[in-house]
Structure 1
Amino acid sequence: MRHAAPEDVGLSSAGLDAVEAAVQAQIDAGMIAGAVTLTARHGRVARLTTMGLKDIAGGEPMAEDTIFRIFSMTKPITGTAMMILHDAGLWHPDDPIAKHLPELADVQVFAGEDEAGRPILVAPDRAPTMADLMTHRAGFAYGINIGEPSDRVEAMYRAAGVQQSSDLNDLVARLATLPLAYQPGTRWRYSLAMDVQGAIVERLSGQTLPEFMRTRIFAPLGMIDTAFFVAPDKKHRLATLYLKAPDAALTPLPGNPLRPDPEAEPRFAMGGGGLFSTAPDYARYAQMLLNGGELDGRRIVSAAGVREQMTNRLPDDLLETRFVAGHQKFRPGFGYGYNGVVFTDPDLAGVPVGKGTYHWDGAAGTWFWVDPENDLLFVGMIQLLSYVAPPLQATTQTLMADAIKD
């Protein structure tokens, strides 16, 4: 992506300085070790900034090509993989999930516990569909082994070891033994739905998920540092992952507590959270979305597919319940498309972005958004696991509004 002075693309240098100052303030306060941020408008990079340290103990500064664990920022890319297959006519939103994963044909729904504490299971009112799967409404849970399980279904997922599956087929086989957490379509629950999508990508394409993403998305887009593992000759570029507890200093983690960093391409590639990437690489993906599915003359997905991914799918009555997933606070005007948030009414949501802005974030603090109305994208990369992580996405979105001049 070509670079340009901020003013040449209708941005204020002083406004971008303020965006970066907000991130730098978190470094100065000891909340994060360092960051890489990238702002692009009208297809050109207006600012690519490195701040702070990649590794505190070694005193290594952040670099433009520092590699980050992007965790759930994998999800939008999995959504794009699904839309490529949708373009090919291989699935439809109304399809039952079991049409593509027959193992899930007899799935039941958790309906409480009996007097002996045994789970009560009932038949679903209707089969969970692909539309449910693409919007976290199918009824799946997550099963991540951190903290106490939030409910009985989450405990059942952990007991079944879904996060320890050997590959995506094994994941589906384990899910076939577990109930849905609620009747399909009736609620929104953050889940391993995008990992299930990864299994469908493999079934429909005949490729592994890493191979499909590499050949159909990363290579065509020139995303040279994005993969489900970090190659040995790039390992020195991987940012240290830090933990931050309240009233405690940043603590480096010897490993990834959510899932060990693989040394080679994993058999169990998680479409919901397994990728590593850089700010420039992810900006190329984001620019493809802004361009309606193509970059540098190479089409990845149809313009219609991008529109479908970036269109809100949640009804108003569900948004009125104001549920939360990390920093994502769903509410009227702040909905969800396929694998990411969609702003349908920024004024109502209270965030000064353009209508139709699409965004998501990751467990280690990475974040991005694409704003079609303002033809703008932003990528922010840090490496912090913390319940007290600063809301940098909302902060930088608010400040960016003052940087847009025309």
Structure 2
Amino acid sequence: MERVAPEQVGLAAGGLDAVDAAIQARIDAGVVAGAVTLTLRHGRIARIRSLGLDDIEAGTPLAEDAIFRIFSMTKPITATAMMILHDQGLWRPEDPIARHLPELADLQVLAGEDGRVAPDHPPTMAELMTHRAGFAYGLPLGEPKDRIEALYRQARILGAADLDEMVARLATVPLAHQPGTLWRYSLSMDVQGAIVERLSGQRLADFMRTRIFEPLGMVDTGFFVPPERRHRLASLYFKPLDGPLEKLAVNPMRPDPEREPGLAMGGAGLYSTALDYARYAQMLLNGGTLAGRRIVSAAGVRAQMTNRLPDALLETRFVAGHQKFRPGFGYGYNGVVFTDPALAGVPVGRGTYHWDGAAGTWFWVDPENDLAFVGMIQLLSYAAPPLQEITQTLMAGALGA
């Protein structure tokens, strides 16, 4: 991707300097070790910056081509995989999930502590794509927040050897709520990964590699980091509420695999670089193409980046990490969609689509301004700075807003 001066694509260098300064301030304060950021406009790289350190103790600078654990920034890519299959007519939003995963045909809904009742209707693909099907997550971190999380852990759903086994285990636990009634962050995108495998006849990793990564030139993106690239894997840090950054020897969310994992997690399993993810972001901005290669239809990209949540649900103002859902700030397929930026209080273009990851990575694509931004850090913390909103707000200065 061509690199140009910001002014060549209508951006003010001073505005981008303010974005850099905000991130550098968090590095100087000892909140973040280092960051790689990339700004795209009109299909060209207006700025890429490597700030801070990869390894604080060793004093090693963070490299531009560092590989990051992008965790939930996997989710938008899984949505694209699903839309490729939608383009082929292999699923519809109104389909019951069980049409594609028959093991889930008899799901019940949790009632009280251990009771179960029939669902009002079978959960649909549209609900699966928007965290409304009734699934939970069951991440093995801390104490379970409620009974359904405890049941997921007891069933070891995320400890399955592969996606078929994960679905079989998921069939033994109830839904957290009636389908369609609530938004609950969940393993829905891992379920989508299982559907990709069933509909395509390929493993999820193979499908993504051949249908998305290779055509886009995403050479460093996948579900593991090969041994010859392991030295480029960014150090992972933890920040307690009070105390300095602590380098982690092991990824506590899921140990970094040495080879292709059996369970390819469509919700959180990928590794990538800022440059690779920028190619994916530019494909979304281009309506499904990059460098003359079509990955997904323009209609598929529009569907992914269209809000699917009713106003009544957004009025409840629920939260998922740094994502504070509210009027003007909705959700499409596997990512946030700004329907009214002024109402949401963030100065991005209408239709901006974004998501983030557990270790602090973030991105957005802004079709109205033909702009994309990718930010990569490696920080697990309950008090991580809201860098996505901070940088979105400052980017308005570069756009002249």
TM-score range, shorter-chain basis? over 0.9
Out of 275, 279, 282, the residue aligned to residue 284 of structure 1 is 279
Where 1:142 maps in the other structure, the secondary structure is: coil
Where 1:70 maps in the other structure, the secondary structure is: strand
Q: Structure 2: which amino acid aligns with 1:373? A: E
Residues 22-33 of structure 1: matches in 2 within 5 Å?
22-33=22-33
> 2:371 & 2:337 partners in 1: Cα distance?
15
1:191 equivalenced with 2:180 (yes/no) = no
Counterpart in the other structure of 2:59: 59
CA deviation vs aligned residue, 1:344-381 (integer Å, no higher than 9, x gap): 00000000000000000000000000000000000000
Where 1:272 maps in the other structure, the secondary structure is: coil
Counterpart in the other structure of 1:317: 312
Out of 335, 338, 345, the residue aligned to residue 340 of structure 2 is 345
Counterpart in the other structure of 1:360: 355
1:81 equivalenced with 2:76 (yes/no) = no
Counterpart in the other structure of 2:292: 297
Number of residue pairs aligned between Structure 1 and Structure 2: 401
Q: Percent identity?
A: 76
Where 2:374 maps in the other structure, the secondary structure is: strand
State the 1:4 CA deviation: 1.1
Counterpart in the other structure of 1:260: 255
Counterpart in the other structure of 1:3: 3
Q: Structure 1: which amino acid aligns with 2:17? A: D
1:49 equivalenced with 2:49 (yes/no) = yes
CA deviation vs aligned residue, 1:254-292 (integer Å, no higher than 9, x gap): 111010100001110000000000000000000000000
Q: Structure 1: which amino acid aligns with 2:389? A: A
Out of 134, 142, 148, the residue aligned to residue 153 of structure 1 is 148
Counterpart in the other structure of 2:324: 329
> 2:129 & 2:268 partners in 1: Cα distance?
15
State the 1:405 CA deviation: 3.4
* Segment drifting more, 251-260 vs 336-345: 251-260
Q: Structure 2: which amino acid aligns with 1:263? A: E
Where 2:72 maps in the other structure, the secondary structure is: helix
Out of 171, 190, 195, the residue aligned to residue 176 of structure 1 is 171
In angstroms, what is the RMSD of aligned CA positions? 0.6
Counterpart in the other structure of 1:91: 91
* Segment drifting more, 128-137 vs 145-154: 145-154
> 2:57 & 2:228 partners in 1: Cα distance?
21
CA deviation vs aligned residue, 1:168-217 (integer Å, no higher than 9, x gap): 00000000000000000000000000000000000000000000000000
> 1:125 & 1:176 partners in 2: Cα distance?
17
> 1:34 & 1:245 partners in 2: Cα distance?
17
> 1:388 & 1:381 partners in 2: Cα distance?
17
> 1:16 & 1:370 partners in 2: Cα distance?
16
CA deviation vs aligned residue, 1:30-76 (integer Å, no higher than 9, x gap): 00100000001000000000000111122111111000000000000
Counterpart in the other structure of 2:400: 405
Where 1:187 maps in the other structure, the secondary structure is: coil
> 1:56 & 1:179 partners in 2: Cα distance?
45
CA deviation vs aligned residue, 1:294-322 (integer Å, no higher than 9, x gap): 00000000000000000000000000000
> 1:405 & 1:110 partners in 2: Cα distance?
51
State the 1:148 CA deviation: 1.2
Q: Structure 2: which amino acid aligns with 1:25? A: A
> 2:13 & 2:308 partners in 1: Cα distance?
36
Q: Which runs of 5+ in 2 are unaligned?
A: none
> 1:266 & 1:252 partners in 2: Cα distance?
24
Q: Which runs of 5+ in 1 are unaligned?
A: 114-118
Ranges of 4+ aligned residues in structure 1 off by more than 2 Å:
none
> 1:194 & 1:2 partners in 2: Cα distance?
33
Counterpart in the other structure of 1:34: 34
> 1:19 & 1:405 partners in 2: Cα distance?
14
> 1:305 & 1:4 partners in 2: Cα distance?
30
> 1:82 & 1:260 partners in 2: Cα distance?
27
Counterpart in the other structure of 1:116: none
Counterpart in the other structure of 2:104: 104
Q: Structure 1: which amino acid aligns with 2:44? A: R
Q: Structure 1: which amino acid aligns with 2:349? A: G
